[in-house]
Structure 1
Amino acid sequence: MDDEIRALEINQTWNLMELPNDKKMVGCKWVYMVKYKSDGSIERYKARMAARGYTQVYEIDYQETFILVGKLNTVRFLLSLAAIFN
């Protein structure tokens, strides 16, 4: 858990902000996993913090959702355009 918290801080995953009076805080929970090697022995223990997003209500807690996902074909296309047009 300490490693996960440290990684979140190093990557600046969040900003600490004041909660507006008319909003509720979204909770979080720890998810634990055990990673195994191919022979069945334990490779490592993992922990990650997950937001309880299911507690949010559309148009009250958020308006839209968006995540930027770059596909390899898109990157290739953009690189080819950059090469063609200098």
Structure 2
Amino acid sequence: MNPLWVSAMKAEMEALQHNRTWDLVTLPKGECTIGYKWVFSVKYLVDGSVDRYKVRLFAKGFTQILGKIFGAKFALVAKLNTIRLLVSLVVSHSWPLHQLDVNNTFLNGDLSETINMDPPLDFWAQGEYSGNVYCL
């Protein structure tokens, strides 16, 4: 694998560990895990040159079973029409508008359920991950 992607993956893992996203635990008997997915993207500068390689680690929440692993949840998401309205207000009032690219984002919420996620295979070789799972 390209060393630039590997370093981006390590940076993502370090940020997640720094924010105490999970505890490394032995999977309790009778419990199941959800998988993970790496999402890779290249960020470009205005002139078209590569700015950086960005990697995100996502839990495959779509594999959860309603009532068994989680209860009903609601996630607030901005609709495209809302964003269009805000941009039109900015333009009509000649307000300044700035673009921001956030390096790492984390939800501010505690899980009421115990969710166990498989650790990324890319990091099992370090020994401490062998046989353990992430308790989110």
Deviation at 1:21, TM superposition (A): 2.5
SS in 1 for 2:67: coil
Instruction: Give the corresponding residue for 2:123.
Output: none
SS in 1 for 2:24: coil
Equivalent of 2:13, from 2, 5, 23? 5
Q: Does 1:20 align with 2:24?
A: no
For this pair of structures, how many residues does the alignment match? 68
The structure with the larger Rg is 1
Gaps (5+ residues) in structure 2? 1-8, 77-136
TM-score, with length taken from structure 1: 0.68
Aligned counterparts of 2:67 and 2:32: Cα–Cα separation in 1? 13
TM-score, L = length of structure 2: 0.45
Any unmatched runs of 5+ in structure 1? 69-86
Q: Structure 1 vs Structure 2: percent identity of aligned residues?
A: 44
Distance 1:6 1:54 in 2: 25
